[in-house]
Homo-oligomer: A and B are copies of this chain.
Amino acid sequence: MAGKSTAAKHRAQNGAARSKRDSILDAATRVFLDCGYGDASMDAVAREAGVAKQTIYSYFDGKDALFEAIVRDKCDRLLEPIGMPEARGNDPETALARTARRFLDVVLAPEGMALFRTLVAECGRFPNLAEAFYRSGPLLAAANLADYLAELDGKGILKVDDPLRAARLFFALLRGDLYIRRLLDLDSEPDPADVERAVADAVRVFLAAHARR
């Protein structure tokens, strides 16, 4: 082992080093999404991660870079279920309801709301992060649903002239009043009964608007 460079040592301890970097990332995620960018301090992140503040600066260039890292990471992981294409084997009502629940489970959950709130608060400082979120979240979800709606239209099951616009309207219906209330933190947790009502309402209105005849 003697004579190994620090770089080699670092490679040898790659597993441990990676988990330390990850523990910083995890701690930063908690702190940033909890306090917001402005009130989050590097000291708090260091304390939460159980490392010295300087150690953070050896892994990340600064507060901005750390924030960008945790947001991109959260977007990738949290929005992943939203990015999955639709299951197409069922009748439209069942398929729409399934898509709706999967969507609301993600975006109404505390983590989803915290991420979105933080992005809304900091979209002026980090415009690229806001756009990355939009693309891998709302836009991707609408695009996936649009594919399915186009298929339904082709089969003559529904009447959907503009699939992407229709998909966006569906998700808009779905957010409804619940989303506003959650954004303003008026409801601490999403009430499952309200979620089910939102799903049922959205599916009902959407199908009524796009019924053939």
Contact = CB atoms under 8 A, between A and B. Distances in A.
A169 B205 contact: yes
A36 B124 CA distance: 10
A186 B117 contact: no
Contact of A184 (B120, B177, B209): B120
State the copy count for this chain. Answer: 2
A177 B172 contact: yes
Contacts of A38: 36, 38-39
Contacts of A201: 165, 169
A204 interface: yes
Interface stretch (A19-27, A84-92, A128-136): A128-136
B133 A184 contact: yes
A209 B179 CA distance: 21
A55 to B, nearest CB: 26
B185 A123 contact: yes
